[in-house]
Amino acid sequence: MSNTNKSSGVHLVRVDSDRAGQRLDNFLSARLKGVPKSAVYRMIRTGQVRINGGRCKPASRLEAGDEVRVPPARTRETEEYVVSESVCRQIEEALVFEDRDMLVLNKPSGMAVHSGSGLPWGLIDAVRQIRPGQFIELVHRLDRETSGCLVLACSGAALSHLSTQFRDGHVDKRYLCLLNGLLPEPAVEVDMPLRKIESGADSRVEVCADGKPALTRFQLLQAYRDCCYVEVRLFTGRTHQIRAHARHIGLPLAGDERYAGKESAKKWKKRGLGRIFLHAHRMELETPSGKRLSLDAPLPAALRKVLDGLEE
């Protein structure tokens, strides 16, 4: 397949009501088809992108009527990628909840929510292919290896409402994970600021005094010989928050090569764990209609099998 390049000039885009509440990086990615996510972030970081004339961040939320400065960008004009039928079936089978305002999926591990970094498609592309012509936007994110509850909005108003719920800490988020080692007590709370440390392709998040506030609670569910199964509650929503706080207390997640190291990941692979043991199993939030909704995504069979093979 041949690719052609096209350069467009600076233009100003006014945000309509359907896009109110959307993250700036997602808004730009939808407009700049073919531009790598890394390039979008670079445009924002260097001040080329402005909201109402002011500097902004990738996570800045847009409001109806905002004027976004979109800089020149070289895009690849390619045929639209078609997600396979088997993946679309997998997504449809992962549906946990649906109404006119939102979709909730039990995201499979190994599936990125966005395209980019060499990936021609992401989960959001598959959902849009299944629901052609329908407004579909991610409300939040999960790492590629993480499975579990993922919320998508079906209208601009729903996106604004749900995004505010997440941003203001009104969503009760619970995860299941397996820690290397044993918690010193049944419940451990970690209230330590986090900051992303850039180190080439191997960037990660670490506890830093000048980082953003982050609060995580680890609750013991089952202790084993050399590890423990815990439920984690997030009170903030920082990137890699659970993984970074677990490493900080000396109990990195099982299968987490980035924060536990390659040797640890190899050890767990021999024990049948081929991914990071992290699953978003429960979420409680207020829907756009004003109802309090509880959502559950069962632990994947592959992770349950690992637990069944552990020694107490």
Verify whether residue 143 is a known catalytic residue.
Answer: yes
Q: What is the mean pLDDT of residues 120-145?
A: 89
Query: Both 124 and 247 in a single domain?
Result: no
Query: Both 228 and 143 in a single domain?
Result: no
In this predicted structure, what is the pLDDT of residue 80? 59
Q: Which of 252, 233, 231 is nearest to 243 (CA)?
A: 252
Domain boundary among 149, 166, 183: 166
Q: Which of 239, 64, 233 is nearest to 156 (CA)?
A: 64
Query: Both 112 and 176 in a single domain?
Result: no
Query: Both 195 and 295 in a single domain?
Result: yes
The whole model's pTM is what?
0.78
Query: Both 89 and 116 in a single domain?
Result: yes
Query: Both 186 and 104 in a single domain?
Result: no
Domain boundary among 115, 150, 166: 166
Is 294's pLDDT higher than 90?
Answer: yes
Among the listed ranges 1-5, 13-17, 165-169, 225-229, which one has the minimum average pLDDT value?
A: 1-5
Dump pLDDT digits (tens) for 68-100: 999 887 655 444 568 888 988 999 999 999 999
CATH number of the CATH domain containing 90 = 3.30.2350.10
CATH number of the CATH domain containing 51 = 3.10.290.10
- Confidence class of residue 7 from pLDDT cuts 50, 70 and 90? very low
Q: What is the mean pLDDT of residues 197-223?
A: 88
Quick check: is 4 in a domain? no
DSSP letters spanning 5-21: EEE---EEEEPPGGGTT
CA dihedral 15, 20, 25, 28 (to 10 degrees): -30
Q: Of 25, 125, 143, 256, which residue is the catalytic one? A: 143
Query: Both 175 and 304 in a single domain?
Result: yes
Quick check: is 246 in a domain? yes
Dump pLDDT digits (tens) for 9-51: 788 889 887 788 888 888 887 778 767 777 888 889 888 999 9
For CA atoms 203, 206, 212, 216, give the dihedral sign.
Answer: positive
- φ/ψ of 300, rounded to 5, equals -60, 150
Query: Both 250 and 197 in a single domain?
Result: yes
Q: What is the mean pLDDT of residues 118-134?
A: 85
Contacts of 173 (CB under 8 A, 6+ apart): 233, 234, 237, 280, 282, 283
Six token digits for residue 236:
């903030």
Contact 219, 297 (CB under 8 A): no
Query: Both 119 and 202 in a single domain?
Result: no
Quick check: is 155 in a domain? yes
Quick check: is 217 in a domain? yes
What is the rounded average pLDDT for all residues in the chain?
A: 88
In this predicted structure, what is the pLDDT of residue 74? 63
Domain residue limits at 155:
85-166
In the chain, the percentage of residues whose pLDDT exceeds 90 is 59
Contact 52, 12 (CB under 8 A): no
Query: Both 188 and 302 in a single domain?
Result: yes
Quick check: is 160 in a domain? yes
Six token digits for residue 271:
């024990």
- Confidence class of residue 120 from pLDDT cuts 50, 70 and 90? confident
Contacts of 62 (CB under 8 A, 6+ apart): 15, 19, 20, 21, 22, 23, 24, 27, 51, 68
Quick check: is 298 in a domain? yes
Query: Both 175 and 302 in a single domain?
Result: yes
